[in-house]
Amino acid sequence: MNSSAKQGSELIYISGALTAKTSGETKRLAKEAMERGRQVKEKGHMPFIPHCSIFYCEQMPWMQYYDWVKLDLLLLPAFDAILLEDTKMNKKSVGTMAELGWTTSHNIKRYLTIEEIPSVN
């Protein structure tokens, strides 16, 4: 668990699909995740948005898809909670489903919507 600066504040992992058929679609998915991160921050929490790794992907082609999924699963224990808002829409996302499975088996707090996250402002 993190030691958040604000009482009751959580470090929240923003989950969601990223893989798409086109670069434009991938960037759109990343921007949607960044928007969810902004909303989490507005509630007084600290978001972590792994979708920003798309910029690393462009410069690190030696990192394969499953390397990124493995990295995400290694990072998850550091978080207080995970936002899985788009899980119902993205059942085909291997990464999102792996994150869901991992958090379920490791008892990490899960939020399915932004609205479920309490404000600490």
Q: What is the pLDDT along the chain (121 residues), one digit of tens a residue?
A: 444 456 789 999 998 877 788 888 888 988 999 999 999 999 999 999 988 877 776 777 888 878 877 888 888 888 999 898 665 555 567 677 777 778 778 888 999 899 999 999 6
pLDDT at 1: 46
- DSSP secondary structure, 63-104, as one string: S-HHHHHHHHHHHGGG-SEEE-TTTTT-TT-HHHHHHHHHHH
**Cβ 82 vs Cβ 105: under 8 Å:** no
Q: Taking the CB of residue 98, how many other CB atoms lie within 10 A of it?
A: 17
Where in the chain are the domains?
Answer: 17-90+109-116
Q: Return the pLDDT at 81.
A: 92
Alpha-carbon 83 to chain mean position: 6
Exposed e or buried b per residue across 52-66, where buried means at least 16 C-beta atoms within 10 angstroms of its C-beta: ebbeeeeeeeeeeee
pLDDT of residue 66: 81
